[in-house]
Amino acid sequence: MTSVLMLYRLQKIDSQLDQVKNRIAEIDRLLNEDSALRAARQALSDAEQQQAKARQTLKQAENQVEAQQLKIEESEASLYGGRIHNPKELQDLQNDVASLKKYLLVLENQQLEAMLALEEADTGVQDKQADLKTVEGQHGNEHAAHLGSRNTLQRDIERLDAERKALTPSISLDEIKLYDRLRQQKRGIAVAAAADSACEACGTTLTPAEWQNARNPSKISFCPTCGRILYAG
C-alpha cells in the first residue's frame, strides 16, 4: 500500500470518528437538557411547600378553636357550678362567656378558611404530581432511545479506533505529523479525494501536471488552493 492511500484511509476513519463523536455530543446535550422535567419537579415542590404551609395554618387554627372551647367550658362550669353567688360576679362571668363565644365564631371561621385553603393546596399537589408523571413518561421514552443510540455510537467508536490502530503503524511519523497538522488547520480534513482533475474538498480544478502528481501514489502532493493532501485513487 502507498502512503497516500493509507493517509486517505486514515482520513476516512477520522472523519467517521468526528461524525460519531459529534452525534454523541449532541445526544449528551439532549440527555442533559431536561428543562421540562426540571420545571415540573419545581412546580411540584412549590405546591408541596404551599400544602405544608396550609396544613400548619389549619393545625394552628384548630388548636386555637380547641383552646377557646376549653375556656368556654371552664367559664360555663364556673357559671353553672353553683359556687358563685355574687350577682355582679355572675354577670361578669356571663359577659365573659358571651364574648368568648363571639370570638369562638371568629376562630371557627378562620379554621374553615384554613380547611378550604388546604383542600386547594391538596388539589394543587395532585395536579402537579400528574403533570410530572406525564413529563417523566415522555422523557423516559426519549431518554431510553437516546441511550440506545449512544451505545450504538460508542461501539462504532471502538470499531473505528481499532481500525485506526491497525492502520497507523504503517504510516511514517513525519506523515502522521503532517496529517495531524493539516487536520487542525483544515477543519478536520487533511486528505482530499481528487477526481476528474478536481479537488473534492475545495472544488479547484487541477492543471494536468498537478493531476499527474496527484495520481502518483508514492508521492504526497497538495491541492494548490486549499493545501490539502490529494488522493487520486
Residues that bind Zn ion (rule: CB under 5 A) add up to a total of 7
Distance from C-alpha of 115 to C-alpha of 131, rounded to nearest angstrom: 24
5 vs 226 by CB, closer to Zn ion? 226
Residues 192-211 that bind Zn ion (CB under 5 A): 199, 201-202, 204
E strand intervals along 122-215:
191-195, 198-199
Please give the angle made by the CA atoms of 68, 71 and 73, to the nearest 5 degrees: 110
Residue 171 beta carbon to Zn ion: minimum distance, rounded to whole angstroms: 21
| Minimum CB–partner distance for residue 139 and Zn ion (Å) | 45
Residue nearer to Zn ion on the CB measure, 37 or 226: 226
Question: Which CB contacts under 8 angstroms, 24+ apart, belong to 170-176?
Answer: 170/1, 170/6, 171/3, 171/6, 171/7, 171/10, 172/3, 175/3, 175/7, 175/220
Inter-residue long-range contacts of 206-209, CB under 8 Å, 24+ positions, other chains counted:
206/230
Of residues 142 through 201, those in contact with Zn ion by CB under 5 A are 199, 201
Read off the C-alpha cell for 41: 419537579
What character string, x for contact with Zn ion (CB under 5 A) and - otherwise, covers 71-100? Answer: ------------------------------
Residue 4 CB, shortest distance to Zn ion, in Å, is 15
3-state secondary structure of 204: coil
The one segment of 83-91, 120-128, 138-146, 225-233 that binds Zn ion by CB under 5 A: 225-233
Q: Is 117 in the site for Zn ion (CB under 5 A)?
A: no
Q: How far is the CB of 212 from Zn ion (least distance, A)?
A: 16
Rounded to 5 degrees, φ, ψ at 194 are -120, 130
> Binding of Zn ion at residue 223 (CB under 5 A)?
yes
- Least Cβ distance, residue 182 to Zn ion (angstroms): 11
- Cβ-based nearer residue to Zn ion, 42 or 225: 225
Residue (153 or 226) nearer to Zn ion, CB? 226
Q: Which residues contact 69 (CB under 8 A, 6 or more apart)?
A: 104
- Min dist. Cβ of residue 230 to Zn ion (A): 7
Q: Is 221 exposed, middle or buried (0-12, 13-18, 19+ CB in 10 A)?
A: buried
Binding site for Zn ion (CB under 5 A): 199, 201-202, 204, 223, 225-226
